[in-house]
Amino acid sequence: MTEVEIGDGRLRVVVEGFDKVLALRSTLEMPLSHVRGASQDPEALRERHGLRLAGTSLPGVVAAGTFFDGEWWFLDVHHPERAVKIDLDHEHYAALIVEVADPEGTVRAINAAIR
């Protein structure tokens, strides 16, 4: 799971617990000006995200790390019903798909911060 923090014009995604090992990342941070929007993504583990380059992928169980399918993706999802997709511009990753405790609140907060 991850914690999404918004402040000082930046979006920060903190990978929590053992997921740091599974995803091979502990934090991702970018300016809010590079965030295009956020949406809930309950199909996160069912979609194909390309070639896993660094991290862990057990289909239907966990997707954590960096994936490439014509563009770079970062995923950290165990429970797809709590997944949030954060679309990005001008960043290494085209999108982040991460599991959060409150998907609706996280989507609202991100979209409000980028307006």
Q: What is the pLDDT of residues 71-100, one digit of tens each?
A: 999 999 999 999 999 999 999 999 999 999
pLDDT at 93: 95
pLDDT at 51: 64
Q: Which two tokens stand for residue 1?
A: 């799971």
SS3 for 42?
coil
Q: Which two tokens stand for residue 73?
A: 């993706």
pLDDT at 58: 73
SS3 for 39?
strand
Q: What is the DSSP letter of 16?
A: -
For residue 63, the tally of other CB atoms under 10 A from its CB is 28
Distances 57 to 20, 63, 93, 95 between C-alpha atoms, Å = 14, 5, 18, 17
pTM exceeds 0.75 for this model: yes
Overall residue count recorded for the chain in this entry: 115
CA distance from start to end of the chain: 26
pLDDT for 24-74, tens place per residue?
899 999 999 999 999 998 877 676 666 677 788 877 788 899 999 889 999
SS3 for 22?
helix
pLDDT band with cut points at 50, 70 and 90 for residue 22: confident
